[in-house]
């Protein structure tokens, strides 16, 4: 089961957002989740996530297309390239690279047409013509399972991709509050080796990834707490102190935690 802390939150997205469900590979392993976003503008204000590569499919039968978006390294605006009715698939850190044999460093944060990364056949047209989100979900799962079934033939890099994906899941389970020495001890691989693999297959260095995951954990705690103590939340999320937490939070959102709390609906 996919735990909530593995999914990036985007509190500033504007438009209707509907969570669709989880996506699995050929071994029934959860590798991604999907949502349907209908917006007035294809420009969406974003904050750093948990290292997820995303694919946006157009649901407009008159404008089929798809774009792949790389891992966010900081706050900014994502341009969905004119797609207003969007079926969005976000892959757990490291899974996009493992499944499709494409480095997570390759797709930019501005987006790149999916067909420039690998062959998609008629998938874009099928997604745009689909009558329901359930049908779109089946189409994407078909793509994922087809890629997954051939992963074992991509040697010798497959083992490295799996090590990277497993290491990131360990980081997620610790909510980003883990040092490289501890990660090395848990995975039984050297810190230098893990750093190289995570950078290549996730798109972020481990230290940056941990910082963003801690930030995402704070967002989730703020979202689910009625009257939060910022000092206590900072401690729970693994920040050195409240000033460190406030500095990182403002860097990633553009506002201090107290102002963010006041902006909550």
Alpha helices (H) along the chain: 95-100, 123-129, 133-149, 158-173, 180-187, 191-202, 206-224, 230-236, 242-253, 257-263
In a domain, 118, yes or no: yes
In a domain, 63, yes or no: yes
The whole-number pLDDT of residue 141 equals: 96
CA dihedral 39, 259, 51, 17 (to 10 degrees): -20
Question: Distance between CA atoms of 173 and 60, rounded to whole angstroms?
Answer: 37
Question: Distance between CA atoms of 145 and 79, rounded to whole angstroms?
Answer: 28
Alpha helices (H) along 46-132: 95-100, 123-129
In a domain, 67, yes or no: yes
The token duo for 199 is: 């950078």
In a domain, 86, yes or no: yes
Question: Distance between CA atoms of 153 and 146, rounded to whole angstroms?
Answer: 13
Question: Distance between CA atoms of 122 and 90, rounded to whole angstroms?
Answer: 21
10-residue averages of pLDDT along the chain (265 residues): 68 88 91 93 90 95 95 88 94 88 85 93 97 97 89 61 85 89 92 90 89 89 77 79 87 90 75
In a domain, 207, yes or no: no
In a domain, 193, yes or no: no
The whole-number pLDDT of residue 156 equals: 47
Query: Which of the 8 DSSP states describes residue 134?
Result: H
In a domain, 224, yes or no: no
pTM: 0.88
* Total domains in the fold of the chain: 1
- What's the number of CA atoms in the CB half-sphere (13 Å) around residue 71? 29
Q: Which domain holds residue 147?
A: 4-153
The whole-number pLDDT of residue 67 equals: 97
In a domain, 198, yes or no: no
> How do strand 66-69 and strand 30-38 relate by DSSP bridges?
unpaired
């Amino acid at each position: 089961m996919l735990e909530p802390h593995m999914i990036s939150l985007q509190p500033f997205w504007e438009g209707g957002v509907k969570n669709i469900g989880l996506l699995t590979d050929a071994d029934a392993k959860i590798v991604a989740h999907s949502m349907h976003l209908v917006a007035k503008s294809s420009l969406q204000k974003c904050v750093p996530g948990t290292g997820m590569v995303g694919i946006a499919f157009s649901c407009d039968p008159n404008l089929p297309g798809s774009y792949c978006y790389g891992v966010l390294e900081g706050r900014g605006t994502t341009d969905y390239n004119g797609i207003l009715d969007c079926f969005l698939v976000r892959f757990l850190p490291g899974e996009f690279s493992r499944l499709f044999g494409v480095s997570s460093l390759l797709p930019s944060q501005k987006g790149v047409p999916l067909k420039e990364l690998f062959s998609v056949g008629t998938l874009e047209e099928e997604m745009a013509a689909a009558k329901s989100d359930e049908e779109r979900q089946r189409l994407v799962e078909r793509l994922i399972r087809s890629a997954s079934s051939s992963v074992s033939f991509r040697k010798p890099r497959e083992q490295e991709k799996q090590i990277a994906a497993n290491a990131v899941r360990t980081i997620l389970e610790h909510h980003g509050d883990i040092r490289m020495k501890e990660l090395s001890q848990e995975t039984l691989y050297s810190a230098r080796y893990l750093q190289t693999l995570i950078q290549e297959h996730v798109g972020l260095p481990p230290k940056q990834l941990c910082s963003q995951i801690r930030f995402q954990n704070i967002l989730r705690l703020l979202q689910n707490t009625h009257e939060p103590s910022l000092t206590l939340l900072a401690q729970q999320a693994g920040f050195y102190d409240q000033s460190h937490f406030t500095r990182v939070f403002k860097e990633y959102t553009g506002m201090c935690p107290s102002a963010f709390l006041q902006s909550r609906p």
